[in-house]
Amino acid sequence: MTVTQRSSLLVRTISTPIILIVILILIAVIAKLVGSGPFSRTVVEMFIRVMLVAGLYIFVGNSGVISFGHIGFMCIGAYAAAWFTIPPAMKAVTLQGLPDFLAQAQLPIFLSAALAGLLAAIFALVVGRIMMRLAGIAASIATFAMLAVINVVYSNWDSVTGGTGSIVGIPFYTGIWTALGGAILVVIIAYLYQISRSGLALRAGRDEATAAAASGIDIVRERLIAFVISAFTIGVAGALYGHFLGVVNPDAFYLGLTFITLSMLVVGGMNSLSGAVIGVIVISTIIQILRWLEKGIDLGGATLSIPNGLQEITIGLVMIIILMFRPAGLTRGREIVWRFGPWASKPSTAGEVAVSKNGA
């Protein structure tokens, strides 16, 4: 391989996260220029979902194991953020079962988010040592069982989680720039894991499990590493989500959010980081359009509106259409790469989508 070819390959490899980050920054700038409160909230939600879906991609995209339980890590992160940042006087009234070190704590948001992610990662390490030995549908069912257990525990541990009631008083810290920073951080983590030795080994086990095991790859260990890293990123996303809403409830981290998150990954393409981000942008755009239509649009004195609750039906139809015509997602499991100027050579691998002057 020549020096020019190596440079071209390096630029194409690094260009994927750069392009995705630039797209996210442009969306944030547009939101600030528009200045609309509801639109800004939609963009913040989009960035948090980028954290969720990119974090889910770290495990699902690289291992090939569908997980229905990752929203449970978001629940752990959100409640941890509440424990760490709600004023002690309020916790003394609403969360009387907290241990003293949590009851008296009131940490800064970034330290709180890091600890929330760490707590989710530790939980993933404990349960993952058993669950990662499973494969296929058995592993997927096990992750769903994990989600159900987390939901039941957080719904009934009244003195620590508030039970089925909501914990209020979480400081509002998460705005556009905070959420953008979180999204960029998770994209970078997902990219670094993707190109790491562990990520390459896990994808080898995903594609050819027998050959990978024969080559000395410990598939269970590699799955566990991805599971823990994924849990950390989603735990951080949960913390930022708690600081965005100012209130947390166990039902907010259950089947509804699980369905939306998985649909975004499937629509974009679960085998690429680009697919994870593009899927979030596409589905979030559809959701926002449907919200506008539900509120009604004035057309020459007449109001055009759609029935409430049509979002889930529409997203389901979008998923069916995508699976029918593009089973690998909008990106077909490929990464978006840069192909301008001296690096405008053809992609060297099948997993690249070229970004050229004509948009091809």
Top mean pLDDT of 151-165, 173-187, 288-302 is at: 173-187
The span from the CA of 325 to the CA of 306, in Å, is: 27
- pLDDT score recorded for residue 6: 44
Top mean pLDDT of 17-21, 85-89, 231-235 is at: 231-235
Determine the residue type at 39.
F
**CATH architecture of the region 3-355:** Orthogonal Bundle (1.10)
Question: Does 132 score more than 80 pLDDT?
Answer: yes
pTM across the whole model: 0.88
pLDDT tens profile 45-103: 999 999 999 999 999 999 999 999 999 999 999 999 999 999 998 888 888 889 888 88
Q: What are phi and psi of 280, to 5 degrees?
A: -65, -45
Is 60 in contact with 234 (CB distance < 8 Å)? no
The span from the CA of 78 to the CA of 250, in Å, is: 10
Banded model confidence at residue 178, pLDDT cuts 50, 70, 90? very high
- Residue 301: how many other CB atoms lie within 10 Å: 5
The span from the CA of 174 to the CA of 41, in Å, is: 10
pLDDT tens profile 246-268: 999 999 999 989 989 998 999 99
Q: Name the residue ranges covered by the structural domains of the chain.
A: 3-355
Give me the chain's average pLDDT, please: 86
Is 117 in contact with 77 (CB distance < 8 Å)? yes
